[in-house]
Amino acid sequence: MKISTDTALRLEEPLMPYDQYVGEANVHWDKIMATIKNRAG
């Protein structure tokens, strides 16, 4: 039971470009921080 070298290499590839990942993460955390700030009043 073993995966091929080609499959192993493809599994190492990013799912999305790094810049897109960082941008999406920032949007997510900005929403969380806004929620926390709004609750704190």
Instruction: Tell me which residue of 32, 11, 29 sits closest to 21, measured CA to CA.
Output: 29
In this prediction, residue 34 carries a pLDDT of 96
This prediction has a pTM of 0.63
In this prediction, residue 17 carries a pLDDT of 97
What are the φ and ψ backbone dihedral angles of 2, each rounded to 5 degrees?
Answer: -150, 145
**Domain ranges across the chain:** 16-41
In this prediction, residue 41 carries a pLDDT of 76
Q: Render each residue's pLDDT in the chain as its tens digit; 41 residues.
A: 999 999 999 999 999 999 999 999 999 999 999 999 999 87
The continuous run of DSSP H or E covering 35 comes out as helix 18-40
